A and B are shown apart, each in its own frame.
With several copies, the nearest count.
Chain A
Amino acid sequence: MMMNLEEAPEGLWTRCDGCAQMVFSKELEKTGFLCPTCGHHFRIGAFQRLAMLVDEGSFTPFPPLVAANPLDFPGYEQKIKQAQEQTGLDDAALVGKAAIQNTDCMLAIVDFSFMGGSMGSVVGEQLVRCFERATAERLPVVVVSGGGGGARMQEGVFSLMQMAKTVQAVGRHSRAGLLFVSILTHPTMGGVYASFAALGDIVLAEPGALIGFAGPRIVAETTREKLPEGFQTAEFALEHGLIDAIVPRPQLAQYVSRLLEWHR
């Protein structure tokens, strides 16, 4: 179930969002999906991320959960099924125990390609279990967020409640004196950012990642202003004091492992 790199850009050539050049797809896989010309970080799937971040064979996923349809929202079941088939994931988060350069941790990776990485009951519950198990086993938590709009509209108020639920799990873990490294990748917005993702002891971001609460389109429509250059990018967040550091993808595993080591 876990081995296919299903998120790789389709086709032989891919257009880079950073510099508009065409990039040879095979080339991308070698660079960790960084544009060889401009360094633009392509969005990658949970399994690809896993492969880049954790020690090979060290990941043990939690028992899988599947979304219910608490509001009887029309078409939700089909949407879930479709997303499952397309991504090979049960829902938008891949959660389990792993080792990063020989240090154990609990790990969660939110995958954008599963309904925009939105947080419904399953993502919420899996994240809560991740922090709960980490608290019980006195382990650090590493979460790679990249969850689009954040809310899973089809679960309405249940989606909203996952914000409280995950924040509380983070809070308990933190009060036990344990480390939470939150890694924000493109895009981390809405209810995902405004809950667990913002609350890392150390908050890192990939270059160029979109980070914020309200989406840029909504901000532009509401304020009828031109958005400032680089609005809501990782660089913008760093300048405004919201994150600790920007770490390019190739250095991420090494950087995180050092943090884990120093907080053992």
Chain B
Amino acid sequence: MSRVQPFEWEKPLVELEERIKELKRFCSRAKLDFSEEIANLERKAWTLRREIYASLTPYQRVLMARHPHRPTTLDYIRLVFDDFVEFHGDRTFRDDGAIVGGVALFEGQPVTVVGPQKGRDTKENVARNFGLPHPEGYRKALRLMKQAEKFGRPVITFIDLVGAYPGVEAEERGQGLAIAQCIEGMSFLKVPIISVITGEGGSGGALALGVADRVLMLENAWYSVISPEMCASILWRDSARAAEAAALLRLSPTDLLKFGIIDDVITEPLGGAHRDHAFTGMQIRAFIRRYLAEIKRIAPERLVEERLARFRKLGQFREKRLAEI
């Protein structure tokens, strides 16, 4: 991995950690024993880190969700499952590299896995279109989910995309229809579905992979109808005010849990998933194990009914009072 600039709010912490490192080097060179002082400093650094990450603003979490070293879907697949075979293609037009999918083994049980795939470098990002799917991606996803239904195996989706790709060809080939069909297909799928929002969850492009029985979300992920930047640009014609928009949109896991949009929040390592891929993977594995056990027991028809009921009740409005009519 290439070196990445720390976030602005991490800078005091990074500086302190640098100082401690230097002090240690100096002591070792000078053969001095400052171990007690160093231990103290390290405790302080730990406290500082806890404080910093406990008080992140919604937009800081959005930036964490986009960290270039944050695990991607293929990373999670490697970390969470024991084996994986990737299947390609929409059987109509193209294989969309922005969405990966296939069959994986989860603790001995075959499951179908689908998710968007961001690249790690420029070349990969071009091949994967920065993880922004074309209609073919959604058609592949739906094809694999229907396959899962045929063979009665659960579906796990990972969600990390700012939206479906807004391109000429994507529109030509029916981006909107592909998303609608993916939502429809997932809604009535007669097998358990778990979605894990691992990073960005932007608009219909994200929802198209998120119509699940249990929706889980990493601590530093976001999920909304629009990205904070686009929201700011619409509200104030100034995408630089994204931080304000992020706060207005209530896109954080805490809010979404309260709203009943998601079912649980998966804690990340302190400082974000990118700091410890293995730990993040273990966390996700534990959550999937728990929720899969829960929904695997439910009969398929019942499962679909409950899934539909879950979404049926989302929305807030009131009857018009008589006086208003």
Q: Which residues of A contact B (CB under 8 A)?
A: 1, 63-71, 73-74, 90, 120-122, 124-125, 128, 151-153, 155-165, 167-168, 170-172, 174-175, 177, 179, 189-191, 193-199, 201-202, 211-215, 218-219, 222-223, 225, 227-228, 231-232, 236, 238-245, 255, 258-259, 262-263
Residues of B within 8 A of A219 (CB): 166-168, 171
Q: A151-B203, A238-B95 are in contact. Are A66 and B317 (CB under 8 A)?
A: yes
* A159-B64 Cα distance, complex, nearest whole Å: 24
Whether B316 contacts A242 by the Cβ 8 Å rule is no
CB atoms of B317 and A64 under 8 A apart: no
Interface residue from A155, A231, A241, A245 paired with B136 (Cβ < 8 Å):
A241
Query: Which of A160, A191, A222 is packed against the most chain B CB atoms within 10 Å?
Result: A160
B259 — which chain A residues lie within 8 A by C-beta?
A: 70, 157-158
Q: Is the CB of A73 within 8 A of B248?
A: yes
Contact A158 B314 (CB under 8 A): yes
Q: Across the interface, do B311 and A193 meet the contact criterion of CB distance under 8 Å?
A: no
Contact (Cβ within 8 A) A90 B320? yes
- Report if B117 contacts A (CB, 8 A): no
Residues of A within 8 A of B86 (CB): 245
Contact A153 B226 (CB under 8 A): yes
Q: Which of B44-52, B183-191, B281-289 contacts A (4 or more CB under 8 A)?
A: B183-191
Q: A157 and B175: CB pair below 8 A? A: no
Q: In the complex, which residues of chain A have a beta carbon less than 8 angstroms from the beta carbon of B136? A: 241
Whether B211 lies near A213 (C-beta < 8 A) is no
Q: Is B207 part of the contact surface with A, judged by Cβ < 8 Å?
A: yes
Interface residue? B131 (CB, 8 A): no
A264-B256 Cα distance, complex, nearest whole Å: 39
Given A65-B320, A156-B249: A263 touches B166 (CB 8 Å cut-off): no
Interchain CA distance A157-B248 in the complex, whole Å = 11
Instruction: Identify which of B92, B95, B167, B317 contacts A67 (C-beta below 8 A).
Output: B317
Q: Is the CB of B226 within 8 A of A245?
A: no
B181 to chain A, nearest CB (A): 7
Q: Write the residues of chain B forming the contact surface with A, with a CB cutoff of 8 angstroms.
A: 83, 85-96, 103, 105, 110, 136, 140, 147, 150-152, 164-168, 170-177, 179-181, 183-184, 187-188, 203-204, 207, 211, 223-226, 231, 234-235, 248-251, 256, 259, 261, 308, 311-312, 314-320, 324-325
Nearest CB in chain B to that of A192: its residue = B176
From B95, which residue of chain A is reached at the shortest CB distance?
Answer: A241
A73-B248, A227-B168 known; A167-B180 Cβ under 8 A: yes
Residue of A223, A228, A238, A262 near B103 (CB, 8 A) is A262
Given A174-B150, A199-B180, A225-B168, residue A242 in contact with residue B188 (CB < 8 A): no
A245 touching B225, Cβ below 8 Å = no
Asked if B175 contacts A194 (CB within 8 A), the reply is yes
* Known A125-B315, A199-B177; 5 more pairs at CB < 8 Å: A66-B324, A73-B248, A158-B315, A161-B261, A197-B180
Taking the closest CB of chain B, its distance from the CB of A17, in whole angstroms, is 21
Q: Is the CB of B103 within 8 A of A240?
A: no
> B171 — which chain A residues lie within 8 A by C-beta?
212-214, 219, 231-232
Q: Is the CB–CB distance between A223 and B203 below 8 Å?
A: no
